[in-house]
Structure 1
Amino acid sequence: MLFRQLEYFVALARERHFARAAAACYVSQPALSEAIRKLEHELKVPLVKRGRTFEGLTPEGERLVLWARRILADRDALQQEVVALQTGLTGELRLGVIPAAAATVALLTDPFCAENPLVKVRVDTGLESAGIIDRLRRFELDAGLVYPDEQDAPDVTVTPLYSEEHLVLAAEGLVTGAAGSVDWAEVVELPLCLLRPGMRGRKLIDDALSDRGLTAGPQLETDSVATLFGQVATGRWATIVPASWLRTIRPPAGARVLRPNDPVTATIALVTLATEPVPLIVRAFTETARSVRVEGDSVGAQA
């Protein structure tokens, strides 16, 4: 009964609305409200500010919802451990992924799914590194792929996976000559489409160009990897992409892949909560991620 009350309480904290929380838990609104009232009675503290509509959590509720999420996460991990002893690893792995790793993650999830056919994997892409860390702490994600340089937190385990080189993907005809390399001064003169400002992948490029006395002036900006490739496919655009994307996403017909003469690289890391014991499903994915070789011979520049 306690677990059910905690589930309803966490759902209400997430949805910020009684009816939506009840629907998410597949119960009636009165049943959800009554369960939360019983939880408040058992804990002897008010958890929810009540009015005609949901008005938020009390200060006690804001603190206790963190414990509720942890208790439910530990329960799920315990259940997975027990079932795994009998039938193999089962459950759901929830991954948060920054745009730079939106294509790379397939190189990790494919072997993981092959090794663990009973596990369901949910991947949320387009997230920022800080947002992934925050969702880990709220037990809404199990692991994430991030840029680790800004993540210095004792409650997070950071496992560097690979060093990512950035390449130029340009429509045929935008770059002349047979060489498979290009200068950054030439790149900024191309009709560019890039990730939007504020995203870590874009900041990486902007900082690298600034160090070289250059500035990018893209006409089109987006938060979507697919949009960048779609623009290049029209035959009039160029973009800057992580090399590993080109292992899982075929370049548009006729597009050229060029390696900058002065390379820009960044580290991609796996992040998980630094908890003990580590959930079995997280341990399994970490082992898979460590065993996969992503960098190196991913894609060569094409003339």
Structure 2
Amino acid sequence: MIDKLEMLLALAKEKHFGRAAETLGITQPTLSAGIRRLEEQLGVRLVQRGSRYGGLTPEGQRALDWARRIVGDSRRLRDEMRASHAGLSGHLRIAVIPTALTWAARLTAGYSERHPNVSFTVLSRSSGEILQMLDNLDVDAGITYLDNEPLGRMESRELYREDYALVCPRHHPMAQRDTIAWAELSGQRLCLLTPDMQNRRIINRNLMEAGVTPEVRVESNSTIVMVNTVLNGPFATILPEDMARFTAAGHDLALIPIERRGSRPAVGMIAPQQDPATPVLQALLKLAEALRRHD
């Protein structure tokens, strides 16, 4: 039945029989037959059918919740059995907010040094997308904000707290400042992350509390695009200090710390609560604890 539950998960995610079949590497008739067989086994209709996919029935939605648990448990069992005789090996998928990608690199590098038979896929995603991917079993862990999204039944390990810096060209009027206040950013031509990103919402809140309406001329979901925009135009950007130092390294750019306002956002690793967690995931959470920055 596991393979049929995998089909239900794929169909619920893609909301299209053809795309779901493609993600599973099977034909659409095979997928349709598998879903019908699952319906026969469970004795209920799971999918609203017409000329195209019409969504899950109430019974289908309930079955989807069970499918996520059963498939997740099946994958954990497989990983634990493999670890018991071959040591830590396998593949970990991590979704990361764009501003924490430098920390993802630290984690994967440190993990690979300790456990060279584990490989990684690291994806850049918004905080909302990370939670959805964890729910859908599309990733094993995420690095995201811990304070502002409803995390649900997730384990979390704080990694660091964010401080911010203005990144601007060396000839910018503020380039020689030691620090600046949020209120002083009024009238600055800014390049910022897109509004779906939690980092953008945090920056907007800091500016609003300082009485500043941001003059945002360029938006992107890529920190690389933001820094290159600053290099090539009359713009400045605001980034967490770690990411600012990394992306600006080797460029003719200035980094000016911005004053702290209130509590600093916490960023950390999250993963679904599992009992037991696989040895591979346990090792990742343990490494996150070890790398936590105290400041």
Sequence identity of aligned pairs in percent?
32
Q: In 1, distance between residues paired with 2:177 and 2:18?
A: 61
Question: Which residue number corresponds to residue 69 of structure 2?
Answer: 70
CA contact (8 A) 1:233 1:252 kept: no
Structure 1 residues 215 and 45, CA, compared in 2 at 3 Å: closer, same or farther?
same
Q: In 2, distance between residues paired with 1:49 and 1:107?
A: 45
Question: Which residue number corresponds to residue 244 of structure 1?
Answer: 242
Q: In 2, distance between residues paired with 1:177 and 1:259?
A: 11
Amino acid at match of 2:18: A
What SS class does the counterpart of residue 139 from structure 1 fall into? coil
Question: Which residue number corresponds to residue 267 of structure 2?
Answer: 268
How much does 1:127 deviate?
Answer: 1.4
CA contact (8 A) 1:98 1:145 kept: yes
The 5-angstrom pairing of residues 1-303 of structure 1 reads: 2-128=1-127, 130-153=128-151, 155-175=153-173, 178-234=176-232, 236-246=234-244, 248-251=246-249, 253-262=251-260, 265-294=264-293
Structure 1 residues 51 and 291, CA, compared in 2 at 3 Å: closer, same or farther?
same
Q: In 2, distance between residues paired with 1:153 and 1:168?
A: 30
How much does 1:152 deviate?
Answer: 4.7
Structure 1 residues 189 and 51, CA, compared in 2 at 3 Å: closer, same or farther?
closer
How much does 1:295 deviate?
Answer: 6.5
CA contact (8 A) 2:90 2:119 kept: yes
CA contact (8 A) 2:158 2:292 kept: no
CA contact (8 A) 1:161 1:289 kept: yes
TM-score by length of 1: 0.87
What SS class does the counterpart of residue 265 from structure 2 fall into? strand
Q: In 1, distance between residues paired with 2:175 and 2:279?
A: 53
User: Is the deviation greater in 243-252 or in 69-78?
Assistant: 243-252
Could you give the per-residue CA deviations for residues 8-35 of structure 1, whole angstroms, max 9, x where no partner exists? Answer: 2222222222222222222233222222
Q: In 2, distance between residues paired with 1:44 and 1:176?
A: 69
TM-score by length of 2: 0.90
Could you give the per-residue CA deviations for residues 151-190 of structure 1, whole angstroms, max 9, x where no partner exists? Answer: 4555122222211111111111013574432333433333
Q: In 2, distance between residues paired with 1:76 and 1:292?
A: 27
**Aligned residue pairs, count:** 294
Structure 1 residues 46 and 286, CA, compared in 2 at 3 Å: closer, same or farther?
same
What SS class does the counterpart of residue 233 from structure 1 fall into? helix
Structure 1 residues 33 and 197, CA, compared in 2 at 3 Å: closer, same or farther?
closer
User: Is the deviation greater in 90-99 or in 146-155?
Assistant: 146-155
Amino acid at match of 1:141: V
Structure 1 residues 229 and 41, CA, compared in 2 at 3 Å: closer, same or farther?
same
What SS class does the counterpart of residue 85 from structure 1 fall into? helix
How much does 1:227 deviate?
Answer: 1.1
What SS class does the counterpart of residue 219 from structure 1 fall into? strand
Report the aligned-residue RMSD.
2.3
Q: Which runs of 5+ in 2 are unaligned?
A: none
Could you give the per-residue CA deviations for residues 254-290 of structure 1, whole angstroms, max 9, x where no partner exists? Answer: 1011112446732112211122112222211111111
